[in-house]
Structure 1
Amino acid sequence: MKAAVLGAGAGGAASVVELIQAGHDVHFWARSADTLEPHVRLGGIAYDGKLGEGVAKPALITTDLKAAISGVDVAVVVLPTFTHSAMAAALAAAGWPSDKLVVLNPGHTGGALEFAETFSRSGRAAPPVVEFSTMTYVARKYRPDGVTISGRAKHLKAASLKGGARAIEVAATLYPGLVPVEDVIASDLSNVNMILHPPGAVLAAAWVEATGGDFTFYVDAMTPGVARVMQQLDRERLAVAEAFGHKLPNLIEEMKLLGTVEPDVTDTADYRAAISGGTANSRIKGPDSLQNRYYKEDFGHGLLPFLEFARIAKVEAPVAEALYRLAQIAVGTDYREGGRTAEAMGIAGLSKQQVIEKVRM
C-alpha cells in the first residue's frame, strides 16, 4: 500500500519505520524544512528500540503536501491533536479526495469529529476517518535524524467516522493489532493520555517550572495523591462512557492492553504501583515547561472535549472541571480558543441521542 505519513515528530518517524518494514511505499511529510533536513541528509530515519535498529528509507521526503499525497492510498496524520483542524483544512485545500481514507494516529478525544467538521467546511464531503484512541508508539527523538522506540501498543482501539468496517480493515493493514470499537465516542473515551497526564501536569506544575522537567513523570511524579486524583478522574470518564452506552476498562486495564502497564499486574485498582512499574514509560521525563504538549494537548484537546461530552450526556465531572480550570490559570490561557469545543467537533446543540446517531451514520 502507498501511504503518506504526515508529521515528523517521534510518532511520525516511528510510523515511517514500521510501515517501511512491513513493505509499504511511504511518503514522509513535515511542514518544517529544518525538521526534515537531517532526514534528507541521512536519506531516511535512523531507529533503535522495539522495532530493531537501522535506517528506514521513505520513497519521498518532502515539505510539499501536494507531492506527499500524490498517488497514495491513505494519509496517516501523526501530529499533535491541536494541529488536526489545520491539517484537515490543508488536506482539503491540497485536493485530498473525499473517498480516500485518513488515519489519525492518534485521534485522542474528538479527533475524527473535529477533522471531519473542518474538512466539510471546505464545501466538500469529509473523507472516511479512522481514529486511534492513543499513539501507536512510545517513542522519542533523541537525535534530529532518528527515533528511539521504547514501546509499541499491542491492542489499539480504533473506530471509523464514515467508511465502516472497510475503513478499519485498511487501517489494520497498516497497523496490525487494531481492536475495532463500536463508534468514535468509544475510542474518544479510551484516550489514556486524557486521564494519565492532567493530574500530574497540574499537581506537579511547580516542579515542572522549578526543574525544567528534570524528573520522571510516570515514576517520581506518580505520588499517592496524584494517583488518587487520577483514579477519581478515571471514574468520571467511565461514567460518561456508560451514559453513551459503552462499558470501558479502567485506566490500568486499558494500559495493560496497550503494553504500558506490565501484563502481570493483578491489582488494577492500585494506580500508583501499576503506572510507576511500567517499563515502557519509566524513563520519560516530566514536561520541560507549561508550554509542553501535556498542557497544550491534553487539556484543550483532551479534557475540554471530554467535558463537552459530559455536558451533553448530563454527567457531572467535577475533578475534570477542576483540573481544566486550574491548568488554564497556571498556564495563563483559555483552552476554548482554538480548542476542541463542541462547535469544533460539529456537535454543538445536539442531544446525546443525536450525537450517537451522528457517530454511527
Structure 2
Amino acid sequence: MAEVLVLGAGNGGFAMAADLAVRGHKTTLFNRTETTLSAAKEQGGIHHSGVLGEGFAPVDHIVTDLKGVVAKADLIVACVPATAHRSLAQTLAPHLQEGQRLLLNPGGMLGSLAFLLELRAAGHSGNIAIAETGTLTYICRKSNPGSVFITNVLKSVPCAAFPASSTKGFLADVDGIVPNLMEVSHILAAGFANVNAVLHPPAMVLGAAWIEHTQGDFLYYLDAATPAVAHLLEALDTERRAVAAGWDVDVSSFPRLFASIGSTSEAAGEKEDYLLTLLDSVPNHHIKAPPSLDHRYMHEDIPYGLVPMIDLGRAVGVPTPTMSAVVQ
C-alpha cells in the first residue's frame, strides 16, 4: 500500500482521503485552517456514506503543517479549487523532494503548468512529476464537518502529465492509488475535458435572481435543469469543442463526456441531448445550489475555465462570443 498526502480538506479532499483509507493506503490529510480539520482530527478520521457504504475511514495523520510529511509521500494529491493553486504551491515548495509525484485533482485548465511555474517562483528547482485531471474523480459533498457523502467515483477521468512524455509513466506509478484515470495526449486535452467550465456557469448566470432570492434553496442540478440552461450549456460546449479543434484536440461533446465519466445516463450521452444529460445526472441531484453568487462556480469555473478557453481560441482565430458574453 502507498503513502499518500492529500492537500485540501473540502469536499474533494475528504472524499479522496476517505476512499484512500478505505482501500488501505496510509493517508495524511493536510489543510491550512485548523477549524476545517478539527472534527476529523478529534474523531481520528472521516465518516463516509454513499457509494463507499456507511462507515468510518481512519486517517493516519491530519495536519496543518507540511513539515516532515511531504518527504514520506509516494503520491501527493491536491484536491483544492484552482483559485488555491498559487498559495498551495508556495506552501508546498520548500518541502518537495526530487522526483516526487503530484496530482492536481482537479487541474482546472493547464493547472499543472501554472502550478509548476508557481513552484519555480517559490524557489523549488528540482524535478517533480506533475499531472492533472480534467475533473474531480468524485461527486461528493461534506455532510457535516467530519463526514462526506460520495454519490459517485467517476470512471475514465481524463488525465495528463507535464511534460506529455511523462504521462504514461505517471499513470503507471499511480495505478491502484487513484482510481479510473484515463490517459490523454497532453494537458491541453485534459483541460478541454474540464466539464465544470461549461456546466456550472449557465445556471449561475440565468438563475442569479433565484439564487439570491432563495439563498440557494433548490437543487442545482435538477431544479435548475431547464431548456434555457441546457441551451446555454450547449452553446458554451460548441465553442469549447471548436477551440479544442483549433488546437488539434479532439474532445467529445458534453453529453458524451459526462456519460463516459459516469455522471449521466448512457442514453443521454448517445442522444447528445443536453437537457436530458442534466436530468439524468442522478449522482448530482442531491446537491443544492450555492447560497450566493459569491461561489467557486463563479470564481473558479469562469476565470480558470472559460477565460483560458477564450484566450486559447483567440490565439488560433476561433471566436467564442457566448463564452465572452458569460464572462462579461
On whether the aligned pair clears a TM of 0.5, the verdict is yes
Q: Give matches, 1:162-201, under 5 Å.
A: 162=163, 163-201=166-204
Aligned: 1:310 with 2:316: no
Contact 1:116 1:126 survives alignment (8 Å):
no
CA offset digits 1:224-274 (Å, max 9, x no partner): 111111101101000111111111110000110111111233653321122
Q: CA deviation at 1:23?
A: 2.1
| Matched AA of 2:141 | R
- Cα distance in 2 between the residues matched to 1:296 and 1:265: 29
- Cα distance in 1 between the residues matched to 2:41 and 2:199: 35
- Cα distance in 2 between the residues matched to 1:52 and 1:169: 28
Contact 2:48 2:56 survives alignment (8 Å):
yes
SS of equivalent to 1:280: helix
In the other structure, the counterpart of 2:22 is 21
Q: Give matches, 1:27-176, under 5 Å.
A: 27-93=28-94, 95-123=95-123, 124-125=125-126, 127-162=128-163, 163-176=166-179
SS of equivalent to 1:252: helix
User: Percent identical across equivalent pairs?
Assistant: 34
Contact 2:105 2:133 survives alignment (8 Å):
yes
How does the TM-score come out when normalised to structure 2? 0.95
Tell me which of 250, 259, 262 is aligned to 1:256: 259
SS of equivalent to 2:322: helix
| Matched AA of 1:177 | N
Contact 1:119 1:126 survives alignment (8 Å):
no
Q: CA deviation at 1:173?
A: 2.8
Contact 1:212 1:289 survives alignment (8 Å):
yes
Q: For residues 89 and 246 of structure 1, do their structure 2 counterparts lie closer, same or farther at Cα, with a shift above 3 Å needed?
A: same
Q: CA deviation at 1:67?
A: 3.3
CA offset digits 1:58-91 (Å, max 9, x no partner): 2111111123314112211011111011111211
Contact 1:81 1:108 survives alignment (8 Å):
yes
- 5+ residue gaps, structure 1, are 326-361
SS of equivalent to 2:139: strand
Which stretch of structure 1 is more off in the superposition, 269-278 or 236-245? 269-278
- Cα distance in 2 between the residues matched to 1:235 and 1:10: 30
CA offset digits 1:319-338 (Å, max 9, x no partner): 0011011xxxxxxxxxxxxx
- 5+ residue gaps, structure 2, are none
Q: CA deviation at 1:177?
A: 1.5
Contact 1:11 1:78 survives alignment (8 Å):
yes
In the other structure, the counterpart of 1:333 is none
Which stretch of structure 1 is more off in the superposition, 316-325 or 126-135? 126-135
SS of equivalent to 2:102: strand
Q: CA deviation at 1:176?
A: 2.6
SS of equivalent to 2:268: coil
Contact 2:256 2:269 survives alignment (8 Å):
no
Q: CA deviation at 1:125?
A: 4.2
Tell me which of 282, 298, 302 is aligned to 1:299: 302
Contact 1:222 1:276 survives alignment (8 Å):
yes
SS of equivalent to 2:67: helix
Count of aligned residue pairs for this structure pair? 324
- Cα distance in 1 between the residues matched to 2:240 and 2:298: 19
SS of equivalent to 2:282: coil
SS of equivalent to 1:15: helix
Contact 2:89 2:122 survives alignment (8 Å):
no
| Matched AA of 1:13 | F
Q: CA deviation at 1:293?
A: 1.3
Which stretch of structure 1 is more off in the superposition, 115-124 or 258-267? 258-267
Contact 2:4 2:77 survives alignment (8 Å):
yes
- Cα distance in 1 between the residues matched to 2:291 and 2:271: 30
Which stretch of structure 1 is more off in the superposition, 214-223 or 245-254? 214-223
Q: For residues 126 and 80 of structure 1, do their structure 2 counterparts lie closer, same or farther at Cα, with a shift above 3 Å needed?
A: farther
Q: CA deviation at 1:216?
A: 1.4
Contact 1:120 1:126 survives alignment (8 Å):
no
SS of equivalent to 1:130: strand
Q: For residues 109 and 71 of structure 1, do their structure 2 counterparts lie closer, same or farther at Cα, with a shift above 3 Å needed?
A: same
Contact 1:202 1:323 survives alignment (8 Å):
yes
